[in-house]
A and B are shown apart, each in its own frame.
Chain A
Amino acid sequence: MTEQLDAGLIGERIAESDQLNPPSAAHEVGKARRRKEDARLVTGRTTWTDNIQLPGMMYVAFLRSPMAHARITRVDTSAASGRPGVVAVYSGRDFVDEQGSLPCAWPVSEDVVIPDHPPMAVDEVRYVGEAVACVVATDRYRAADALEAIEIDYEPLDAVLDMTEALAEGSPKVHEAGNQAFTWKFAGGDIEEAFRDAPVVIERTYVQQRLIPSAMEPRAVVATTDGDAFTLYSATQIPHVLRVMLALTTGIPEHKLRVVAPDVGGGFGSKLQVTAEEVLALLLTRRLGRPVKWTESRSEGNLTVHHGRDQLQRISVAADRDGRVRGVKVDLLADMGAYLMLVTPGVPLLGAFMYNGIYKMDAYHFNCTGVFTTKMPTDAYRGAGRPEATFAIERAMDELAHELGMDPIELRRRNWITHEEFPYTTICGLTYDSGNYEAATERALALLGYDKLRAEQADRRDRRDPVQLGIGVSTFTEMCGLAPSRVLGSLSYGAGGWEHASVRMLPTGKVEVVTGSSPHGQGHETAWSQIVADALGVPFEDVSVLHGDTSVSHKGMDTYGSRSLVVGGVAVLAACEKVKDRAKELAAHLLEASADDIEFADGTFKVRGTEAGRTIQELALATFAAHDLPDGFEPALDADATFDPDNFSFPHGTHLCAIEVDTETGASKIRTYVAVDDVGSVVNPLIVEGQVHGGIAQGIAQALFEEAVYDTEGNLLTTTMADYLIPSAADLPDFVTDRTETPATTNPLGVKGVGEAGTIASTPAVVNAIVDALRPYGVNDVRMPCTPERIWRAVTEGGDR
């Protein structure tokens, strides 16, 4: 883009852009519609939670623990209470009888330990940043000033930051019950047999560093009450789940609690949570009778938004000399941090079924231990478990290829499920419904110019060029569309995986769609409009999508796990089908024909073989008037649908990364990045492209840039963006993207989900490329993020760095 645009112009351009696509009732699905929600989002003409102002509103600031682990021995809030503008100051003890415990909805195993997790610490703090007290004041500044006057005495306890140390005998205990949160095992096939006498076994240990999800919009909460009922506005991904959980936690009856997620600026899993601040906002408004607001600062967010990843993976692969994989063993330590939050212990389980990747094998064994440490709790972060699994198997496949002296693509070809073999039940017991790994890989190789780059690599190696070239491969799949409720039940998850939708025909023929999946930047309003436009034969512009407010959308499971389209979109389609069935019955009545003789096309119901017909808009008006309806016909075309999927969906793809590594300085530079994704049928290719781009960027960020670092005392060192490096467009190459399209067979839209694909695929592609570049230096791993310093040390010192 060379065109210079100012902010005002961008808004106009986006508003105009829909005129580029002339209204058409047919074939909206598959069209690269610009997103109808973007004009209000990017120009700020919308309501973010922090924009909400209510009469008499007060502002909350939290005092946070400066110690990783300590007993609270004294709290004195009296000086702070006297500060100007201060309405109230509370410590955890002031709420001890009503604050309850923050919920964990995924008790993964019999042996799981779910410690009490008070929203504000009462007796003990277990990570730096844990809320210990709060100030309610007439403005944000006074609230922040008064924090400095709160006196708290701590008796320091030993911090424990490393998982291996935490599990060792005599280690400081994070909780009375010890540092093991749970164990969880899974096995398929005979693993002993697979490894017995295996000609090749490779064993590697990979570190999934701790990451800080950094949504553009910080977390924010507003709570208010009329004395009877409560409303909580929150920058959340999960208004529906939140409502249920807050009702259970606070004792406010569910029907007296409305939760609203206004437009939300990104989440990546970090807003899939029930936070201390949300609970306390409700409790404060209940106690004080006035509306309260809290908005985090970025550094407060780095400390206390739940973190992601932080796993130690030991993976072993047994193979034959010809490269055939016999079995995979995984031993995983997963850092829970100090508490189990909403789905903390479930994250590694979401990866457990993915370490086999796209490969056939005889046996698989997975063993996971969740570990408590005195750090911020971890939880879902874009991909949640699947990026970790994909990283380990794709890194290990490159290691195996190197060990065998085989091209990494050829090794994968010898092991992957071929397209004729679908549906294929994997060693993990999942049935992959469809896919074509050969097609995606062929396309990616052609786009990259694989053979030519391999020749250049050989030449640079020969010349001992200080700038070496590496090529990284990632052929991945993932399980999306969370999730069949029965499967979630078998994994001890606390809820179902269905999604709900309502379609309302308005008297003027316009359509309101209510969706239970709650967007925070994905473009639901546009994609749902396209689905409805095709299903009902109405113009795209005539559809409006409502979401995020439990008083409007009473039922939903919200947005995460690439589920919105695959589950929620299908629910919308199902509701449209019901509307159509009712409209058909009405049309038959009005046209004095049998319903069997009514045909539907492009929004009109016609008597077969005649021109006599009624449009769906006419039928909507006819039900509004209700003057002439069939006997017993309710005067409405509206319909609800709840869809529970039978299976997960399995997007896949081949990502290739060519990277130049300056061996003198350790600097790396991605030269070409090719992504060929197969996300099944596509509703809106522009949205898919956007998701792929953002996803790749986020995965590259894990490979090269991002890491949450704690010091030995448990202080987070990466509290600002100067220390926690997030790449911008300037740090990333142009991505070469393409798609193959193998429709899902398990849902009527044929869709598979795209929200996480780029993130899952790209991290191993990049690290594989770096290691590939450094093979001549005897390097077989570089720990993430592959910083220039780590690369330089690997080159200088050789081996695993």
Chain B
Amino acid sequence: MIPASFDYVRPSSVEEACQVLASGDDVKVLAGGQSLLPLLRLRLAYPSALVDLGRLPELRGVSDRGDHVFVGALTTHDEVLRSSVIKERVPLLALATATVADPAVRHRGTFGGSMAHADPAGDLPAVALALDCVFVVRSADGEREIPAADFFVDYLEPALEPDEVLIGARVPVLGPRWGFHYEKFHRTAQAWAIVGVAAAVRRSNGTVEEARIALTNMGPTPVRASAVEAALRGVDLAPAASGGTDLVGEACAEADDGTSPPADLHARPDYRRHLARVLTRRAVRAASG
């Protein structure tokens, strides 16, 4: 399809971008375009103008800041994957990013775009939620911070005001005893997750000391599996002896608590709930392996 007409602005500073955003109704930010352009082409979105952030190098890049890694909003998925800082300091982000779509999309699509699009079927929002990332946003009035738990308000709805630009996110660095895994279940390599599980597990003497788990595509926003996190605390990680109880599996049986999974062509809600339980067990096992 062919998009309807729109104005196009390519600001040379974040300040200018904020001004343009504040100047009109229904101005949209264009980053890598991997979600927005299809919406335009299918005429599902009719913005009056696009603000292309493509020439704002200050929004791009990864920096190690001790207790967290700062990822600029315009950093592409491919750059995230090539960053040794990400790989060593916040490996869960690398694991999830590696499952995003295909190489062509990963070269264009951006970290910030994935977050600001707030698609619960996207892989990165669940990672942000599991790791308690903090988003940094800016408007003409200045900067503010939004914790991940408050950022994903509803389906495709981030906690961004119309005149705010996402600058990047602080991704907390977890300690040495943490293990990570992103378990994605999808029908083809390029497809969205039917269900995904982002898991971070801290082990201590063969038991789970702490777990952080968030689910992809189990509701209008990414969902923190709090019941599982609580149930896993102190659970013995040893595999179940023959005929014995799989304690991890038991704890993960509550993975779909508090979720409202969607129905679509690929899965009905009861199947998604089942997958969430199985995949959470697998993710926890892999993260603590």
Q: Which residues of A contact B (CB under 8 A)?
A: 61, 140-141, 144-145, 148, 297, 299-300, 664-667, 705, 709, 717-718, 720, 722-723, 725-728, 730-731, 787-789, 792-793
Contacts and interface: CB of A to CB of B under 8 A. Distances in A.
Contacts of A731: 188-189
A788 B5 contact: no
13 contacts: A61-B2, A141-B3, A144-B2, A300-B1, A665-B275, A665-B278, A718-B265, A722-B191, A727-B188, A728-B190, A787-B266, A789-B266, A789-B268
A664 B280 CA distance: 13
B34 to A, nearest CB: 12
A299 B42 contact: yes
Interface of B: 1-5, 38, 41-42, 102, 185, 187-192, 194, 265-268, 271, 274-275, 278-279
B188 A705 contact: yes
B194 A788 contact: yes
A696 B65 CA distance: 51
Contacts of B275: 665
Contacts of A788: 185, 187, 194, 267
B188 A725 contact: yes
A333 B129 CA distance: 51
A723 B278 CA distance: 24
Given A141-B5, A787-B266, A789-B266, 13 more contacts: A61-B2, A145-B4, A297-B41, A664-B278, A665-B185, A718-B265, A728-B190, A731-B188, A731-B189, A788-B185, A789-B267, A789-B268, A793-B271
A665 B279 contact: yes
A718 B41 CA distance: 16
Contacts of B38: 720
A367 to B, nearest CB: 33
B268 A297 contact: no
Contacts, number: 62
A533 B129 CA distance: 66
A298 to B, nearest CB: 8
Contacts of B274: 792
Contact of B187 (A141, A299, A787): A787
Contacts of B4: 144-145, 148
A6 to B, nearest CB: 13
A67 to B, nearest CB: 18
B5 A725 contact: no
Contacts of B190: 728, 730
A722 B188 CA distance: 10
Nearest to A788: B187
Which of A297, A725, A789, A793 gathers the greatest number of chain B CB atoms within 10 Å?
A: A789
B189 A144 contact: no
B268 to A, nearest CB: 7
Contacts of A300: 1
Contact of B188 (A717, A728, A792, A793): A728
Contacts of B1: 144, 297, 299-300
Contacts of B278: 664-665
Nearest to B274: A792
B5 A723 contact: no
A39 B274 CA distance: 49
A733 to B, nearest CB: 13
Contacts of A140: 2
A328 B42 CA distance: 48
A584 B38 CA distance: 63
Nearest to A61: B2
Given A665-B275, A665-B278, A667-B185, A717 B265 contact: yes
Contacts of B266: 787, 789
A145 B5 contact: yes
A711 B187 CA distance: 21
